[in-house]
Homo-oligomer: A and B are copies of this chain.
């Protein structure tokens, strides 16, 4: 299903070459101040055509907010509906794929599941879907920011993107993200651990193949004595709240934040589309050769930076809203 979250939910719709993408962000508290221009800034960050290395598709990606926020930028507490028109679809680029399964794409699995082949440009599997995630994230992170929580991700080049492009090939990459200002005590201990929810959110991004937090995979080869995060000083004016001397744990213990920065890394596979002939099959069972002509990024991971931030924001906001309070007061 197409809903993310439980307390603050984002439900999305849209095929990449249909009339519009869009979504509903539900559960935002009322009276939160939203800078609407910030939404445009975030969608601009994820838009293609930002550098010589990313896809040349250019479109304005202007979100139209249809409800839930007053003209002067106050949330009403009601669901925030929005759409983004698909203006620059050029579906002709994809026409050649009709009925041909592009290897390492979702074409074959979609066809197996849905039994229909009308997903021009990848349908729901297209990275274009993430525009709605960035819009949702751009709203909730303003609420987080008002609480002092900031999210920043960066691209890590694990292989030369330029070399890959010049070879008419593609490459993978990684995105590292830090959430600072998190209060301690956020997360649910068993099936809704904070890092479990982050993992699910990140693995939902197109082309993600691995997730780790704190010292991550490397901890599997470490000794216990090497990765103890010892208690440091109490934070001034906040008795019982500590800093830790190190942060091997990545800000989360037992699924609950400990007040240190949360950090994690997402690893992405190479863009499946490469500018070379690739043998495949079509829906009639014929052997075919695919020779891509559309606009494609040689490295999807580069454009994933604002998407990682948005999904981190949606995850954290959801868990903060759902966090149970102590004692009898509600």
A274/B12 contact (C-beta < 8 A), A115-B326, A281-B242 known? no
Nearest neighbor of A296 in chain B, beta-carbon distance: B224
- The CA-CA distance from A222 to B211 in the complex, in Å, is 17
Whether A272 sits at the interface, judged by CB under 8 Å, is yes
Q: Which of B67, B76, B199 contacts A199 (CB 8 A)?
A: B199
CB-CB < 8 A to A29: which residues of B? 324-328, 330
Question: Does B234 lie within 8 Å of A211, measured CB to CB?
Answer: no
Question: Does B67 lie within 8 Å of A20, measured CB to CB?
Answer: yes
A190/B253 contact (C-beta < 8 A), A2-B79, A220-B301, A223-B169 known? no
Chain A 270-282 against B: per-residue CB contact (8 Å), 1 yes, 0 no?
1111101011110
Question: Does A239 lie within 8 Å of B285, measured CB to CB?
Answer: yes
- The CA-CA distance from A96 to B252 in the complex, in Å, is 24
- The CA-CA distance from A203 to B250 in the complex, in Å, is 14
Question: Does A223 lie within 8 Å of B330, measured CB to CB?
Answer: no
Question: Does A79 lie within 8 Å of B223, measured CB to CB?
Answer: no
Q: Which of B147, B189, B267, B328 contacts A31 (CB 8 A)?
A: B328
Whether A19 sits at the interface, judged by CB under 8 Å, is yes
Q: Which A12-52 residues sit within 8 Å CB-CB of chain B? A: 12-15, 18-24, 26-27, 29-33
Chain A 62-88 against B: per-residue CB contact (8 Å), 1 yes, 0 no?
001011101000101111110100000
Nearest neighbor of A170 in chain B, beta-carbon distance: B224
Whether A3 sits at the interface, judged by CB under 8 Å, is yes
- The CA-CA distance from A23 to B103 in the complex, in Å, is 34
- What is the CB-to-nearest-CB distance from A87 to chain B, in angstroms, rounded to a whole number? 14
CB-CB < 8 A to A101: which residues of B? 231
CB-CB < 8 A to A259: which residues of B? 112
- What is the CB-to-nearest-CB distance from A291 to chain B, in angstroms, rounded to a whole number? 14
CB-CB < 8 A to A54: which residues of B? none
CB-CB < 8 A to A280: which residues of B? 230-231
CB-CB < 8 A to A158: which residues of B? 220-221
28 example contacts (A-B, Cβ-Cβ < 8 A) are as follows A1-B9, A3-B11, A14-B66, A18-B66, A29-B326, A29-B328, A30-B324, A30-B326, A32-B327, A70-B116, A70-B118, A76-B123, A105-B254, A106-B255, A113-B256, A147-B329, A170-B224, A171-B221, A191-B204, A196-B199, A199-B202, A210-B211, A210-B219, A211-B212, A217-B217, A219-B268, A224-B272, A230-B279
A sample of 12 more A-B contacts (CB under 8 A), given A22-B67, A78-B124, is A11-B11, A13-B79, A15-B78, A29-B327, A33-B328, A74-B118, A109-B252, A112-B258, A147-B328, A195-B203, A219-B269, A230-B280
